[in-house]
Chains A and B, each alone.
Chain A
Amino acid sequence: MNAFLHDWVLTLILAVPCVAATLLFLVPAERKGLVRTLGVGSALLTTLLTAWLVFSYDQQAAGFQFMQKLPWVASLGISYQVGVDGMSVAMVLLTTIVFLAGALVSCGIQSRTKDFYILLCALVAGVFGVFVSLDLFFFYFFYELAVVPMYLLIGYWGSTNREYATMKLTLYLTAGAVVALVGLLLMYFTYGHATGHYTFDYLEMKRWVDGGAGFSRATQLSLFPLLLVGFATIAPMWPLHSWSPGGHAAAPAAASMMHAGVLMKLGSYAILRIALPLMPQGAVHWLPWVAVLCCFNIIYGGYVAMNQRDMKFVIGYSSSSHMGYVLLGIASVTVLGTSGAVFLMFAHGIMTALAFALIGYFYDQTHTRMLDDLGGLMQQVPFVGVLFVMMAMASLGLPGFANFASEMMVIVGSWERYPIPTILALFGLVIGATYLLRTVKAAFLGPKNPRWDGLRDAKTPLERSPFVLLVGVLLVCGIYPAPIVSLIETGVAPIVHTVQAAQAAMGG
């Protein structure tokens, strides 16, 4: 059994949502209970598999594990190849948790429940695929697959300005994706041209790069920005962020959770997984620009968030602000800073998922998220309120939550590389506290607006479970981050060392 799992666990993790989606097709739409059970059940099953994965990953050995390779389209150099390193394990874990929480939160969805869960499963399958693929074709395949279900999820179940927002989101992300696609294909061609073996096999290319051959400096300098811009769109790096806040705001709870929690991480993950290790010299040349742009993310995003009146827009812009820290950590290419970036991807994923789950919960009842209309909700919905405050505290970087540990890692890690962006990042924490506390106060504290007397708090264990799950993960990883950080470090360190070696070579 263990041996079987060892080979197949990643494929199974990938397959569970796919199979769930297929099964859901066959279920009559009226059987909502069955639909929900299937959705949540598949999430639980992936959770079990992921738990096994996390605990079976051998940190001592590090590197890619649970590898599986099947020839797929041999004549085009495509193979189905999956495998995870520490970084991807953390991301798979994140996805699973958000998926489970999202599936639980979505139990409240009444209209077209079946379609909703099908799309959710498809989305999750895409995200899992990106995190486990070691073949550039499948990487891109899943990357695109993850983007498109969002269109309908927002378009049909969404709110504020949903048609505009969802179209913008989908097109924007696809635009980014095709830029990356051009980069990937050129990389494929250049590699094939140089070695005579045309393949999309990531590991083979990586071995080639690590072996001292690698892309020429000119190639790296010209291709790296393609990958960077392409992937940074979804990250989202300023000024390519504008799809995100509107998309967040329009999306239904579970979709925003997946979107902000996981989808946005695909970009930074892709940069780390593909761009950095395969084009270290390009990275050395271009990453300082990322360090500059991420300051805009942090400061500008924060200030824009400060001026928002719609809660989801606040969180939306705050996400783009937080992603600035991730980009800063990546740009720093230090083991500490970059591990911090990955850890922050994880932490922020959980945190925003929580935020959107909570906002979604009361939005379903209030039908407004405007701060001016809310107020004093804490008295009416203490459970949601308390968790919201915890979420805000996590978001503004309070120790005890994973976000603090990861942001600290980023800041300490990038201080020696980019001190001025680091100072701005620190200042960003002040801005973050400003708008988050203001939001908490406007919505939850102060005198109660009698309009909200009828609001119902999350009472049943089922209703509470997603929130508790998410906040629990944040706390556990925040109070004692060493295990997850060392897991992430095993994945990040080789990447960082590759780039650092290139830097040393270029500097010398």
Chain B
Amino acid sequence: MDLTSPWLILLLPLASAVLITLFTQRWPRLSAGLSIAAVAGAFAVAASHLGAVLHGENVVLTGHFTWLAAGGHDFHYGYLVDGLSMVMLMVVTGVGGLIHVYATGYMKDDPGYARFFAYMSLFMFSMLGIVLADNLFQIFIHWELVGVSSYLLIGFYYRKDSASAAANKAFLTNRVGDFGFMLGILMLYFATRSATGSAGAGDFQAMAQAVANPAWLHAAVFSVGGGHWTLTNEHFLWIAGALTFMGIMGKSAQFPLHVWLPDAMEGPTPVSALIHAATMVAAGVFLLGRLLFIYMPSPTALSIVAHVGAFTAFFAATIATTQFDIKRVLAFSTLSQLGYMVMAMGLRGTDAAMFHLTTHAFFKALLFLGAGAVIHAVHTNDVREMGGLIRKLPFTGWMFVIATLALCGVPPLSGFWSKDGILHLTEHPPGYAHTWIIMLLPTITAVLTSYYMTRLVLLTFFGPPRDHHRYDHAHEAPLNMTLPMAVLCVLSVIGGPLLLGPEVLEHFRAITRPAGVPEQHYVALDAETALHALVIFGLGAGSALLAFGLRVIDPDKVKAALGPVYRFIDNRWYIDELYAWIVKNVQQNVARLCDAFDRYVIIGTVVNGSAWTTRAAGSVVARFQTGSVRAYALLFLAGVAALLALNL
């Protein structure tokens, strides 16, 4: 096999996962080495195609084999390397590789060290499968595999009840999303099946071509489910889009399927960094990009996407302001940022979304790694037990601060470029999204982001230490943890045009923009934009500083003043409670009802009833045999009489 074959990108992590599981469990170091080597290899293979993709306008690499075929349906397994996937490949393997290195330090004393790396490799395989997939079904397969790797990694500390509960929650929430996703896939597949000719089932390129064909797009009606329903093209597109988007909402934790992500912080911190910040949750955004050709012709579908994204961004940001668990704050922040990306997709800003995805991967991973280093040092997640750690962990602290600034969009850090690109989109939203949610909430969210991140930094690293015992034992992380942080820090800082130069950035945008997406022009760094960004940052950071740094405002008084509003936000808008209520009172009762029906009606009444009736009939019949021979004679005669009466 060619050493640059994209198959290798999939095979290496898979091989690593299998090898570790089957053979090298007993040698943790070797396992970690295998795992890192696999990622590095995948990175190298991916990078070998970088140039081609960067320089050619439409260079795509494809390849496939038939995974399953029956009855004229060909399900392929293949790869599709284009600009969009190349960006994801680099992010996933690059950031992923760094996190692997970090994990060698973080997981050092864990008894499940080898197992951890096996899971990580499995995750890499699954994730890269999504990235490389050339058809919907393959993406679904890897979608599920990513789900299970996430399940395994969240539940890594399986001795803890909360960890396995969180893992279940993540899996199930994603399953609900995938329910819609598969329905969407079915609708799309069958609608384009005749138009895609001999291509494999759900092949992206063939589908995109088919959809681009005006004859298809303007078909009078679409039949769904073999003609059980017929839909006009507008309805068809938005319904199919919305259903597919359910899958994306699950994976990218968009409201209302976001509930699993905060709980997912039960997993080891590198996992949070890799899966729940940098890569897996971005898969939804990536898929939106892949499928944008479906959404593009349908303003309704795009509008749904944009609104869900915008609302999620705001919603998560509000919650983040109240949390005290360092990882949870970051989790909600991730939700919020994903909301931005999804919204950008809904506003047809594929390139902006992908750009933000990339930069977000850098600084959010850095934040998580920093948080991990902190947790590693003080053995708690609760910021109320921290404080002043900048003195003990100067390197980590400053890294964290830089990442925060990047996240808050302070120019000229990477976050500024990507986030402002998205905010720019909201200033002149297309007609279908011309609502206050799109126009107002993202900006408010930006302020809130600055607020909660500053609050987090202040509580964690500045001020007096609140738990001296923990403070005293804190120590800086080892090199294998700090080094990846440093690399990420560099990327976070220069991830924008500083790294690549404006031309490359433009090119980046070009390659991540699927065919048919109208080109949009983004602002360059100028004084007005920078000022705008700084004002937003200043508002948020300033209020946080007043409350938590300078102690001018007592946060408790604010809390008391806000009363129910605060409680509402603190309790995550009671969404989890609502779901718990539904699970407990609706689902559980349906289950009980079915069980009771089975127990008492089907088994108790019908089955046992007929058995009982037969036995009872037997006893009755046997009672005819009274033992009295005269009765027998009578019965005999009665039989004779009846026989004669009936037949004479």
Contact = CB atoms under 8 A, between A and B. Distances in A.
Given A393-B148, A415-B226, A419-B229, A430 B164 contact: no
B183 A445 contact: no
B contact face: mostly helix, strand, loop, or mixed: helix
Contacts of A340: 70
B142 interface: yes
Contact of A427 (B69, B168, B179, B598): B179
A246 to B, nearest CB: 8
B594 A300 contact: yes
B145 interface: yes
B172 A339 contact: no
A480 interface: yes
Given A304-B598, A422-B186, A430-B175, A399 B144 contact: yes
A446 B164 contact: yes
A482 B67 CA distance: 6
Interface stretch (A8-16, A121-129, A357-365, A431-439): A431-439
Contacts of B189: 412
B199 interface: no
B68 interface: yes
Interface string B586-598: 0110111111011
A492 to B, nearest CB: 8
A418 B186 CA distance: 12
A45 interface: no
Given A303-B590, A404-B144, A445-B158, A493 B171 contact: no
Contacts of B227: 416
A343 B594 CA distance: 29
Contacts of B109: none
Interface string A476-508: 000011100110110001001000000000000
Given A339-B71, A481-B67, A493-B71, A303 B186 contact: no
Given A405-B68, A429-B175, A303 B73 contact: no
Given A303-B595, A307-B595, A433-B175, A398 B70 contact: no
Nearest to A416: B226
Contacts of B182: 411, 426
Contact of B607 (A242, A393, A481): A242
B225 A419 contact: yes
A411 B186 contact: yes
Contacts of B602: 239, 242
B168 A430 contact: no
Contacts of A420: 225, 228
Given A411-B182, A441-B164, A486 B171 contact: no
Contacts of A404: 141, 144
A409 interface: yes
A464 interface: no
A335 B71 CA distance: 5
Interface string B570-581: 000000000000
Interface in B598-647: 598, 602-603, 606-607, 611
Interface in B160-195: 160-161, 163-165, 167-168, 171-172, 175-176, 178-179, 182-183, 186, 189-190
Contacts of A300: 594, 597-598
A398 B161 CA distance: 23
Contacts of A411: 182, 186
A400 B160 CA distance: 27
B159 A409 contact: no
Contacts of A413: 71, 73
A252 interface: no
B155 interface: yes
B598 A438 contact: no
B51 interface: no
B613 to A, nearest CB: 14
Contacts of B590: 303
A contact face: mostly helix, strand, loop, or mixed: helix
Interface residues of A, number: 65
Nearest to A423: B183
A445 B155 contact: yes
A335 B186 contact: no
A448 B158 CA distance: 10
Nearest to A408: B137
B72 interface: yes
Nearest to B607: A242
Interface string A361-405: 000000000000000101100000000000001000111100011
Contacts of B178: 429
B142 A399 contact: yes
A325 to B, nearest CB: 13
B158 A378 contact: yes
B492 to A, nearest CB: 35
Contacts, number: 155
B585 interface: no
A419 B228 contact: yes
Interface centre among B70, B75, B161, B226 (most CB of A within 10 A): B70
Contacts of A447: 159-161
Contacts of B69: 482, 485-486
Interface in B326-361: none
A59 interface: no
A109 B162 CA distance: 38
Nearest to B603: A242
Interface in B121-166: 137, 140-142, 144-145, 148, 151, 155, 158-161, 163-165
B45 interface: no
A493 B73 CA distance: 13
Contacts of B155: 445
B71 A399 contact: no
Contacts of A486: 69-70
B224 interface: yes
Given A336-B70, A416-B190, A486-B69, A433 B595 contact: no
A308 interface: yes
Nearest to A332: B226
Interface string B30-70: 00000000000000000000000000000000000011111
Contacts of A405: 68
B67 to A, nearest CB: 6
B225 A482 contact: no
Contact of B144 (A171, A398, A480): A398
B225 A422 contact: yes
Given A242-B603, A415-B225, A430 B73 contact: no
A417 interface: yes
B386 to A, nearest CB: 28
A441 B165 contact: yes
Contacts of B175: 429-430, 433
B160 A446 contact: yes
B595 A304 contact: yes
B145 A398 contact: yes
A339 B594 contact: no
Nearest to A320: B598
B161 A304 contact: no
Contact of A437 (B145, B159, B171): B171
A304 B190 CA distance: 33
A6 interface: no
Given A303-B591, A426-B182, A447-B159, A485 B190 contact: no
Contacts of B593: 303
B137 A446 contact: no
Contacts of A243: 607
Nearest to B66: A482
Interface in B467-512: none
10 contacts: A242-B606, A300-B597, A336-B71, A393-B148, A398-B144, A398-B148, A433-B172, A437-B171, A481-B67, A482-B66
9 shortest interchain CB distances as A-B pairs: A419-B225, A335-B71, A416-B226, A445-B164, A307-B595, A336-B71, A303-B594, A399-B141, A306-B591
Interface of B: 66-73, 75, 137, 140-142, 144-145, 148, 151, 155, 158-161, 163-165, 167-168, 171-172, 175-176, 178-179, 182-183, 186, 189-190, 201, 224-229, 587-588, 590-595, 597-598, 602-603, 606-607, 611
